[in-house]
Chain A
Amino acid sequence: MKTKKSAYLSPKNRFSLETVKRRRDSQAGIKSKRPAIPYLGWMLVFTIIPLLMVLYYAFTDDTGAFTLRNFVNIADYSHIFLYSLYVALISTLICLVLAYPMSFSISRCSERKQSIIIMFLMVPMWMNFLLRVYAWVLILQSYGPLDTLLQLFGVDVTLIGNTGAIVVGMVYEFLPFMILPIHAVMSKIDNSLIEAAQDLGCNSFFVFRKVVFPLSIPGIISGVTMVFVPTASTFLVAQYLGGDQLMIGDVIERVFQFNHNSGSAIALVLMIVILGFLVFMNRFGDKEAVGR
């Protein structure tokens, strides 16, 4: 005898059930795409069209004719490209090293304390980006406060106009973007998971290695992405702190002023490099961090 259950699961019935469901969804409007229209419009005007314009400029010369010459010119900037990626990598690593233990200890605080600390982390970001960079110029410049202080101890170094100064500026600018995602993930780790690990025989080191670290990987990935991408492409920081040393963002800015086409081409290449990096990070994330 056919049971009720198998009848329910027969293909025909399942089909009808699904059609009913689909119809209901469209009626209820929960899955309807209509509410997304304003956002799609926004994206079209402020993301898609500018991107298409960059694409257009990159493949044309100033008369509007198709050309690949813009890309040939990029070879001149390849060392700056590599240098930018190098600075971005170093800055991201330093941010990670500083932010990870900090996020961990913040996430162990009481909820009240956590929000206060996070607020203090955000306060500098209320100030203008340029002002913050300029503050570092004042601190690091020759005969500035730090230089004077170091000379008192007989240390004579140039603090500004080198890679170190750029990295300091970058780390300062983007550290909150590393702390926030890592902290967000860590504070969500249920305390009972940590207790369960202890209960099963983990000392504090193993609790960290076997539970806290694997569960915080998604935070690390978004933190690294959020720091690496802007550090690789930002401009002004190097102009103020790096002396003659420029980064690719500064190059794009300068080239753009007299040649839209070359500027667009460099921007496009940078975009592709960053996109490649994002894809790589996401695949890494999928493999490593099944836990959320």
Chain B
Amino acid sequence: MKKSVVSLKDINFKYSNEVILNNISLDIYDKEFITLLGPSGCGKTTTLRIIAGFETPQEGEVYFDGEPVKGLPPHMRNVNTVFQKYALFPHLNVFDNVAFGLKLKKLPKKEIEEKVKKMLAVVDLKGYEKRSVRSLSGGQQQRVAIARALVCDPKLVLLDEPLGALDLKLRKDMQIELKQLQQKTQKTFVYVTHDQEEALTMSDRVVVMNNGVIAQIGKPEDVYNEPANAFVADFIGEANILNGIMLRDEKVRILGVELDCVDKGFAHDQPVDVVIRPEDIEVVDPSGAKLVGIVEDVVFKGVHYEMSVRCHNCQWLIHSTVAQKVGEEIGMHVDPFNIHIMEKMFLEPDNTIITEVYYSDKENNTTTFLLEGEEVTIPDTYYEEGKKLRIVLPPDALYIAGDGVGMLDEVYIESVIWKGEHNEIILESDERKWIMQSDIDEQVATYVSLGFDFSKATICEVR
């Protein structure tokens, strides 16, 4: 059993009634490089700030070496943070910035000087002691910030998207430098990023977060190869995610085709998410292939060609070293162990509204009902007042309206996943969840106004 330096137990964090973290538990082991990865608004930075002591969770406990640290202010915690925008002290030069923590510890002057010099050499900033921090480039400021945190010899170094402000080339160099630095100094690094490539490159373990919960914890290889759910598969790397039905053990049906897979233990005819990585699709002869599609687009990406193939109304992404001709019919084959079957993240909402007619207008041919306290009017439909209705809205009858003109306001976007032909968006209103189809990429974890197109709905009277 590895020793954990920091453990989070059942952390719940709310910010003005909005749940930011929902029951997070996490063990951070000694000397590891662990990355909290997730889209913005997933709670990763909050988790970091809780460890640093800047935020106090409403519920749950943080342990340092098994000791609870509730109420311990940041300056008493043996952790140091590298802030997103460096947060270097503009009134101090490079030396004084790095020496800041050591001076507070009241170390002898000689020792401080030695340690700072050594640390500046480690981050490759020898001879920069007297420079003003404002005269440094972004990458150099970044390194000062890292030196300032490391020189205090903390148990844990927390890094909050430290490379976010750097340009691509520098970011790639710094990724490798950071990883080497971590190995050289043998410190525990907790790294926060929304960049999946960064996470895969540097980490010993990746914690994928979504909507305030941990979606998956694992080695980079495991998170990539065996994503726990469709969100992880979608967020890390590229993936074809399709709706499927598990017919029986080791048999799944997608797009009307039965395929062999290796997963077991699902219920009979259970709807599932099927994930296939683009590089796992083999191009074969169309005769005899189970999946046949037309090549629509071929893009050269350096190591491989990225092809978009239309198959049963669905767009498939294929990576292959051999280019196919646009317009050509190809067969596709996927090995059973490369077909990843996942439970649906949410029980699929059925978008059914059972309601009573609130009032109706015969002249204008409209019917109005109450939905979560709001009046919603169905045009071109007349039912008598008081009649009980059952309204079924197919996913494509929902749309995101402009602010204030939708029928339901403040609806939360819980997940957006590309399902071959369109985005499948799960939304949450005050009382229920909705499923929606859209060709537009909506931003997860935001609030939108939801509209309904009743011309696509099935409406019937019920008793």
The answer to whether A196 and B83 touch across the interface, beta carbons within 8 angstroms, is yes
Q: Is A254 an interface residue (CB 8 A)?
A: no
Which of A192, A203, A215: most chain B Cβ within 10 A? A192
- Distance in angstroms from B293 CB to nearest chain A CB is 49
Question: Which one of A203, A210, A292 lies within 8 Å of B90 (CB-CB)?
Answer: A292
The answer to whether A202 and B83 touch across the interface, beta carbons within 8 angstroms, is no
Q: Is B305 an interface residue (CB 8 A)?
A: no
A195 to B73, CA, bound (A): 11
Q: Is A276 an interface residue (CB 8 A)?
A: no
A206 to B91, CA, bound (A): 15
Q: Is A290 an interface residue (CB 8 A)?
A: yes
Annotate A179-208 by CB proximity to B: 1 below 8 A, 0 otherwise.
000000000001011011111111100100
Question: Which one of A196, A200, A201, A215 lies within 8 Å of B91 (CB-CB)?
Answer: A215
Task: Determine the chain A residues whose CB is within 8 A of the CB of B105 once the complex forms.
Answer: 201
A206 to B75, CA, bound (A): 10
Contacts A192-B83, A198-B74: A290 and B91 contacting too (C-beta < 8 A)? yes
The answer to whether A195 and B83 touch across the interface, beta carbons within 8 angstroms, is yes
A203 to B74, CA, bound (A): 9
Annotate B42-81 by CB proximity to A: 1 below 8 A, 0 otherwise.
0000000000101000000000000000000111000111
Beta-carbon nearest neighbor of A200 in chain B: B101
Q: Is A278 an interface residue (CB 8 A)?
A: no
Beta-carbon nearest neighbor of B52 in chain A: A199
Q: Is B399 an interface residue (CB 8 A)?
A: no
The answer to whether B73 and A200 touch across the interface, beta carbons within 8 angstroms, is no
Q: How many A-B residue pairs have CB under 8 A?
A: 63
The answer to whether B132 and A290 touch across the interface, beta carbons within 8 angstroms, is yes
Q: Is B324 an interface residue (CB 8 A)?
A: no
- Distance in angstroms from B309 CB to nearest chain A CB is 45
Task: Determine the chain B residues whose CB is within 8 A of the CB of A290 once the complex forms.
Answer: 90-91, 132
Task: Determine the chain B residues whose CB is within 8 A of the CB of A198 once the complex forms.
Answer: 54, 73-75
Annotate A258-292 by CB proximity to B: 1 below 8 A, 0 otherwise.
00000000000000000000000000000001111
Q: Is B104 an interface residue (CB 8 A)?
A: yes
Contacts A199-B81, A201-B152, A202-B75: A193 and B87 contacting too (C-beta < 8 A)? yes
A203 to B77, CA, bound (A): 12
The answer to whether B101 and A201 touch across the interface, beta carbons within 8 angstroms, is yes
- Distance in angstroms from B57 CB to nearest chain A CB is 17
How many chain B residues touch the partner (CB < 8 A)?
25
Task: Determine the chain A residues whose CB is within 8 A of the CB of B91 once the complex forms.
Answer: 214-215, 289-291
- Distance in angstroms from B19 CB to nearest chain A CB is 22
Q: Is B454 an interface residue (CB 8 A)?
A: no
How many chain A residues touch the partner (CB < 8 A)?
21
Q: Is B100 an interface residue (CB 8 A)?
A: yes
Task: Determine the chain A residues whose CB is within 8 A of the CB of B81 once the complex forms.
Answer: 195-196, 199
Annotate B89-127 by CB proximity to A: 1 below 8 A, 0 otherwise.
111100000001100110000000000000000000000
The answer to whether B89 and A196 touch across the interface, beta carbons within 8 angstroms, is yes
Contacts A195-B83, A210-B100: A203 and B89 contacting too (C-beta < 8 A)? no
Q: Is B85 an interface residue (CB 8 A)?
A: yes
- Distance in angstroms from B82 CB to nearest chain A CB is 9
Question: Which one of A192, A201, A203 lies within 8 Å of B87 (CB-CB)?
Answer: A192
A206 to B101, CA, bound (A): 11
Task: Determine the chain A residues whose CB is within 8 A of the CB of B175 once the complex forms.
Answer: none
A74 to B104, CA, bound (A): 54
Beta-carbon nearest neighbor of A213 in chain B: B91
- Distance in angstroms from B413 CB to nearest chain A CB is 28
Task: Determine the chain A residues whose CB is within 8 A of the CB of B40 once the complex forms.
Answer: none
Q: Is B438 an interface residue (CB 8 A)?
A: no
Q: Is B310 an interface residue (CB 8 A)?
A: no
Which of A195, A202, A206: most chain B Cβ within 10 A? A195
Beta-carbon nearest neighbor of A202 in chain B: B75
Beta-carbon nearest neighbor of A201 in chain B: B104
Contacts A192-B83, A192-B84: A199 and B89 contacting too (C-beta < 8 A)? no
Interface residues, chain A, with chain B CB atoms under 8 Å away: 190, 192-193, 195-203, 206, 210-211, 214-215, 289-292
Using A196-B87, A200-B100, A201-B105 as known contacts, list a sample of 9 further A-B pairs with CB atoms less than 8 Å apart, ordered by residue number in A. Answer: A192-B83, A196-B81, A198-B73, A199-B75, A199-B81, A200-B101, A200-B152, A201-B152, A290-B91
Could you list 18 examples of A-B contacts with CB < 8 Å?
Answer: A192-B84, A193-B89, A195-B81, A196-B81, A196-B83, A196-B89, A198-B74, A199-B52, A200-B75, A200-B101, A200-B104, A200-B148, A201-B104, A201-B105, A202-B75, A289-B91, A290-B90, A292-B90
